[in-house]
Amino acid sequence: MKIKRVETFLANSGVRNYLFVRLTTETGLTGVGEASLEWQEETIETLIREWVERRVVGVDPFDIEAVIGDMIRDQYQGGATILTAISGVEVAMWDLIGKACGQPVYKLLGGRAHDRVWAYANGWYGGAQSPRDFARRAKDVVASGYRALKFDPFATAWKEMTSVEMDEAEARVAAVREAVGPEPSLLIEVHGRLSVRRAIEMGRRLEKYRPALYEEPVTPNSIELLKEVKEALPLPIGAGERLCTLEDFYRCTRMRAVDVLQPDLCHIGGLWIAKKVAAMAQAQDIQVAPHVSIGPVALCAALHFDWSTPNLWLQEDFSQYDVPWRNDLVGGWNPSRQGEFMLPEKSGLGIELDVDACRAHPYKQNTFPSLWDDRWLSEFTQKDKQEDD
C-alpha cells in the first residue's frame, strides 16, 4: 500500500480555523489528520504542499518510524509550525494503518488500558469576567456531567499583578469552588502569564480551593522555572502543550518539573512520538493529560492515545463549547458523553471528513485573539458570543 495523494481542507470554527489533512492510497483508502495551529493554518498548508507532500507520496503508511522520524530530522530548524504539518500527516497515516488492518488505532498503539476515560471541560468560560459569571457557567458545566473543569481566572495578566488583580483572580476561583461544591476537580490555567514570584504567591492564595492542577504558572519554555514553582508549592503542576521536541520532554521528565505532562500530539510529531513521551513520563511517575484545544480530528486522535496509555490522567474537552457546526466537519463518531469519552470501535480513527461542511465554513484570517488582548475575554468562543448577542 502506497500513499498516492495529499489533500488539505481549511474550515473556520469561530475564533479558530481548522486545517485537516487527507491521504489517499493507490487502492482508494483514505486517512484523515489535523494540522491546526492558531494564526498559522495557511502557513502550515503551504509547508505541506511545499515540503511534506513530496516526503510522503509513494511511501508505505506503515513506515511511521522511518518516514516521520526522517522528516523530524530533516526539517532542521524545528518549531511548532513544521512539526504541526508533520503531525497532521502522521495521524492520517495511523488512520490508514487502522483501516488497512480493520482495527481501531488504539488497539495498534497498545490496546485498551482503561475502563473509562474522563474529560475535563474547557472553553466554557468564554465571555465570563466577574466571579458571578464564572460561577453561573461553572454550575452549568457540572450539571452537564463533567467532573472536572479548567479555567483561566487571570484576565490579561503578564508577569506581575497588582493586589487588586490578585484579589479579583482569587475571587473568580472562590466563586467557582462555591458554585460547584467540594467534589469537582478545578484545573487552574495560567497560560504562562506570571513571574516565578507572583506564580508562587498566587498558588499559595489558591491552595485553599484545592485545585487539581496549576497549569503553566510560568513560561513553559523554561523548565527550570517550572521546577522552581513546583518545589515551592503543594499544588500539582502541569505543563507541556508548548514543548515540541522529544529532547524537551526528556528534560522536563528527567527534572520532574511537572506532576502532569500535557503534550499536544498534533504539535510534536503525532501519535508515535506522543507514546514515547508518555513512556518517559511513566518512568518518572508523571501522569499525562494531552492538550487538545483545536478540532475534532485532533481530539479523536488524542482519544486513541488516551485509551492505550496507562499513565493517562484526564483528557481536555473543548468539543461541547465550540461552534454548533463542529460535529458537521467530521462524521462517524461523536465521542463525548456527559463528561467522559466513549471507546472508539470503528477501524482507523473511526471518523471521515465532510468536505462539503468544511467548504460551507471557509477560512477567516487571524480570528484567534492574543491571550493578552481584552478581546479574548469576550470572544473566547463563538458560541458564547452568539449567546451574548
| Distance set, CA 152 to CA 122, 199, 298, 299, 301 (Å) | 10, 13, 22, 21, 25
Amino acid type, 142? V
Give CA–CA dist 23/33, Å, rounded: 8
Give CA–CA dist 345/95, Å, rounded: 13
Does residue 149 sit in helix, strand or coil?
Answer: strand
Give CA–CA dist 286/261, Å, rounded: 7
pLDDT tens-digit readout, 36-47: 999 999 999 999
Give CA–CA dist 190/264, Å, rounded: 17
Q: Are residues 119 and 144 in contact, defined by beta-carbon separation less than 8 angstroms? A: no
What's the pLDDT score for residue 385? 42
pLDDT tens-digit readout, 224-241: 999 999 999 999 999 999
What's the pLDDT score for residue 380? 63
Q: Are residues 370 and 338 in contact, defined by beta-carbon separation less than 8 angstroms? A: no
Does residue 87 sit in helix, strand or coil?
Answer: helix
Give CA–CA dist 360/355, Å, rounded: 9
Give CA–CA dist 264/255, Å, rounded: 20
Structural domain boundaries in the chain? 3-104, 107-345+373-388
CATH code for residues 107-345+373-388 = 3.20.20.120
pLDDT tens-digit readout, 73-123: 999 888 999 999 999 999 999 999 999 999 999 999 999 999 999 999 999
Q: Are residues 120 and 150 in contact, defined by beta-carbon separation less than 8 angstroms? A: yes
pLDDT tens-digit readout, 131-178: 999 999 999 999 999 999 999 999 999 999 999 999 999 999 999 999
Classify domain 3-104 by CATH architecture.
Answer: 2-Layer Sandwich (3.30)
Residues classed as catalytic: 191, 291
What's the pLDDT score for residue 230? 98
Smallest Cα–Cα separation from 216: which of 176, 249, 177, 259?
259
